[in-house]
Each structure stands twice: as structure tokens, then as C-alpha cells.
Amino acid sequence: MKRKNVQPRVPGDIKGLLIDIDGVLYVEKQLIRGAVETIEYLQKENIPFMLLTNTTRRSRYSLLANLQQMGFRLDIEQLYTAPYAASLWLKEKNVSTVCLFVRGDTYREFKDFHVTTNKPEYLVIGDIAEDLTYAYLNQAFRLVMSGTRMLALQKNRYWQTNTGLALDTGAVVAALEYATRKRAIVIGKPNAAFFQHAVKKLGLPPQHLAVIGDDLESDIAGGNKVGLYTIAVETGKFRDDLLRRKKTMPDQILPSIAELPAWLEAQKRAVPAPFPGGE
């Protein structure tokens, strides 16, 4: 298979990173070898980065605690999650009432809203996994049919667990869209606005940023859309056959995040092209 392995537009140009969490730093509770060391390398080299995730089962607070337990030294400001992005989006729109279709402690991101099932302005839909029942889904359906708008935290089809692939939020959102003939607004990756907000938070122009992820639809297609350099890792949900089928191609493929420091070092040493786009 021909791979699109290209150099950054200017060698050494990558000054910051947007890093996907699930499948890049760990798969479920299994740490990916070299992930902690790579984060330490970025910190030592003063390379700014943010961790981006479509995970909707927890708040940033418990996600941070989880990452710290695994050995990552991080700050809450370095986490950018779909539920957090949704709360910012709803605030921007001056929304005050929501119904939460989420799990775990994700509700903590929505403490500034009135949570109600009585004519909420928005129904926030995340991954509810085993909580999914006909009654639950039907309640959501009725809300949307009576005017509540759907805000999907993400629309991923599936994700990788230790026991195999697992159905994700996108399947539930699609079911509600089909039944109601209405479309959900999608907040998480690959939504361009999700990446643009994270880029803004890092304070670097997109041409100096790379996104690294295991998901071609979310991370790579999303990153391509906003002009980021895109790096796919062959861990987590990455499947070679997807590359063959998809139009989405990353700028670079690395076996795992463990290879990132050596790759960044090699970029620094690379001789610049004589003119932009030149060989």
C-alpha cells in the first residue's frame, strides 16, 4: 500500500501538538508503552500541547485524576473534551436549560445549566452504553419531537475496548435522527470548531500544529479540515484496511506515540526545502 509520508511544510515547523487520548495514550486501562515518556519529553522541550478527546463518559476532573494515576503529570487546562466543549458552546448560545443523556460524572461539566426533562432547549447526547434502554431512548425521542434540539457530544460509530470494538454514541444519535427526521449538532471531533477552539487555546497558528490520533474519521479528517499537520498512530482503533478504503490520509504514520520524540527530533535536523513545496 502506498502511504502518504510527507515532511512538514517546513522541517522543524511543528511547535505544538493536539493529542488524542483514547487509543493513543492508552487503550481502556492499558497504558501504551512510551506514552508517559513522550508527554514528559514535550514538557522538557517546552512544546505546548493539549489532550483532545471525544470521551463522553466522564468529566475533565475524573479524566485528569485517571491520567495522573497512570503517571501523566498534567493540568486540567490541558484537557479539551467533548462535554467541556459542549458546555462552552451552550454558554455562547445563552442556553439555560438542558436534558443530559450522559453517563458517569459528565454532568459536572454542565453545572451552570438548569438540568430538566421539562421542555429543555437542548438534549445533550453522550455515550450512555449499558444505560441505553427503550424507555430512555423513547424519552429522548419525545423531547426532540416536541421541540428540544439535539446536541451530540460526538458521533463516533464505535471504539476499541479490551474485549473488542464497541458501539458508540453515533449509533444512538443516528437512531434519534432517523426517527425524528431532525439533525443533531455535533460538538466533538471531527467538527472543525472543536479543533479551532483547541488551537485558539494553545495560541499557535494551525500551520505550526500537528494532531496525533488513532481515528482516521475523527482525528485525521478533522485535523485536515482545519489545516493541521496530521499524524496517525497504529495503536488503538487504527486499522490498516481503513486507510485503503478511505479518502482520508494522514500526513504521517507512526507505529505509536512512543516514536513521536524521535520523529520531532528528526524534523528539527531535516534540511529545509530550497523553496516552499520544493524537493
In the window 35-64, what residues touch Mg ion (CB under 5 A)?
A: none
| Out of 109, 214, 217, 251, the residue judged to bind Mg ion by CB under 5 A | 214
Residue whose C-alpha cell is 471525544 = 54
Is the omega angle on the peptide bond into residue 205 within 30 degrees of 0, that is, cis? no
215 binds Mg ion (CB under 5 A): yes
Residue nearest to Mg ion (CB): 23
| Out of 16, 23, 188, 250, the residue judged to bind Mg ion by CB under 5 A | 23
Does residue 197 sit in helix, strand or coil?
Answer: helix
Binding mask 158-197 for Mg ion (x = CB under 5 A): ----------------------------------------
| Choices 5-13, 127-135, 168-176, 208-216; region in contact with Mg ion by CB under 5 A | 208-216
CB of 55 to Mg ion, least distance (A): 9
Residues in binding contact with Mg ion, number by CB under 5 A: 5
Query: Which is nearest to 147 in space by CA: 108, 107, 97?
Result: 97
CB of 256 to Mg ion, least distance (A): 12
22 binds Mg ion (CB under 5 A): yes
Q: Which amino acid is at 250?
A: P
217 binds Mg ion (CB under 5 A): no
- CB nearer Mg ion, residue 143 or residue 249: 249
- Give CA–CA dist 269/186, Å, rounded: 40
223 binds Mg ion (CB under 5 A): no
CB of 235 to Mg ion, least distance (A): 9
- DSSP for 209-268? EEEEES-IIIIIHHHHHTT-EEEEESSTT--HHHHHH-S---SEEESSGGGHHHHHHHHH
Greatest alpha-carbon span in the chain: 64
CB of 23 to Mg ion, least distance (A): 4
20 binds Mg ion (CB under 5 A): yes
Residues forming beta bridges with residue 164, ordered by sequence position = 161
CB of 68 to Mg ion, least distance (A): 20
100 CB-near residues (< 8 Å, 6+ apart)? 106, 107, 110, 115, 124, 126
CB of 17 to Mg ion, least distance (A): 14
Torsion sign across C-alpha atoms 65, 68, 74, 80: negative
Binding site for Mg ion (CB under 5 A): 20, 22-23, 214-215
